């Protein structure tokens, strides 16, 4: 197939591009910058912003399918900033699929679209969207996901939404650097007992699942379309033990300080009010969303992905961690 990957230079998007190229697909990548390594590997680069409808329409010319990974993640910032990329950008992709008569769209969503601050203990896709969100990222991703799923129309456009949780790998540019920097700066504390269970997913598994979804709906599997799927390693881990293992692998002392969830939540709420009142754009050291993510269960039943997409992790958590430790050590 000839596949457009939006957000081609992102952590997940780049791995999706590499896996598509490795199996022989033609790949067009839409991104805001140039990515010479991907271009050298065979990707056709289209430079543009997902917020620009003309750029999206240009990138979708002569493609058979779209894997849409472009997004802005984070826990702080204006609603407009998240809306323009996450929701409006996705709307542009859907519109381009219709105009170009593209038959398949795989959307990278997030499990946080169902997270309102309570424990999520082995929940499946029947988990509803919450009435209130703790930050703008999940709110705007949920709106985008709903538009993608509503656009599913057999015979015209088949769509699905994937929800990979805490994507990681040795070269992760987001989660691990943030964790390590906070620990080194003395700004990382254990919230609650640290024994809450969380799901994660290695970037190779997350990309692999996107290709599986693409193949299923491009092959006309209407039973797999029009729905969302949680994705993970299928191996929930204790939050603080996992974070501690990552810090140890990075040669960083594991913090010993801890605070209760209730205290962290109150501090986060107070800092959010203060930063909003003073119009500070930097991220507060604690927010309600971060407090809840650090203290609450958030792991998921991935039966639907296994049954309808044929998903199984191609790399176990133990194998991924061994690879990470080896690369960091060297």
- Please, are residues 286 and 271 in contact by the beta-carbon 8 Å criterion? yes
Q: How far is CA 231 from CA 32, 73, 202, 204, 306, in A?
A: 27, 17, 10, 12, 9
Q: Out of 35, 82, 133, 137, which one is annotated catalytic? A: 137
The question of whether 137 is a catalytic residue gets the answer: yes
The candidate with the shortest Cα–Cα distance to 141, out of 95, 73, 80, is: 73
Q: Are 254 and 240 in contact (CB under 8 A)?
A: no
Residues in Cβ contact with 69 at an 8 Å cutoff, skipping those fewer than 6 apart: 5, 6, 7, 8, 10, 12, 13, 16, 108, 210
- What's the chain's length in residues? 330
Distance of CA 165 to the CA centre of its chain: 6
Question: Which active-site residues does the annotation give?
Answer: 137
């Amino acid at each position: 197939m000839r596949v457009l990957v939006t957000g081609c230079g992102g952590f997940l998007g780049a791995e999706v591009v590499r896996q598509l190229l490795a199996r022989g697909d033609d790949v067009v990548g839409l991104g805001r910058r140039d990515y010479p390594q991907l271009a050298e590997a065979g990707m056709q680069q289209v430079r543009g912003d997902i917020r620009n409808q003309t750029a999206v329409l240009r990138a979708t010319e002569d493609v058979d399918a779209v894997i849409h990974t472009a997004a802005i993640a984070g826990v702080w910032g204006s609603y407009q900033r998240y809306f323009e990329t996450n929701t409006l950008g996705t709307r542009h992709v859907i519109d381009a699929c219709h105009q170009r008569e593209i038959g398949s769209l795989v959307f990278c969503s997030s499990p946080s679209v169902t997270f309102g601050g309570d424990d999520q203990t082995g929940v499946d896709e029947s988990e509803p969207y919450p009435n209130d969100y703790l930050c703008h990222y999940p709110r705007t991703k949920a709106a985008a996901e709903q538009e993608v799923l509503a656009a599913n129309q057999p015979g015209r456009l088949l769509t699905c939404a994937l929800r990979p949780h805490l994507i990681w790998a040795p070269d992760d540019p987001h989660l691990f650097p943030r964790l390590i920097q906070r620990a080194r700066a003395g700004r990382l504390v254990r919230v609650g007992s640290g024994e809450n269970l969380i799901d994660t997913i290695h970037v190779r598994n997350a990309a692999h699942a996107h290709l599986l979804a693409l193949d299923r709906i491009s092959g006309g599997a209407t039973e797999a379309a029009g729905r969302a799927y949680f994705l993970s390693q299928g191996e929930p881990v204790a939050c603080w033990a996992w974070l501690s293992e990552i810090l140890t692998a990075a040669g960083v002392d594991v913090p010993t300080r801890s605070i209760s969830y209730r205290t962290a939540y109150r501090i986060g709420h107070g800092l959010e009010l203060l930063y909003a009142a003073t119009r500070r754009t930097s991220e507060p050291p604690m927010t309600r969303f971060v407090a809840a993510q650090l203290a609450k269960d958030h792991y998921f039943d991935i039966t639907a992905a296994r049954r309808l997409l044929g998903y199984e992790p191609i790399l176990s958590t133990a194998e991924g961690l061994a690879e990470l430790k080896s690369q960091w050590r060297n």
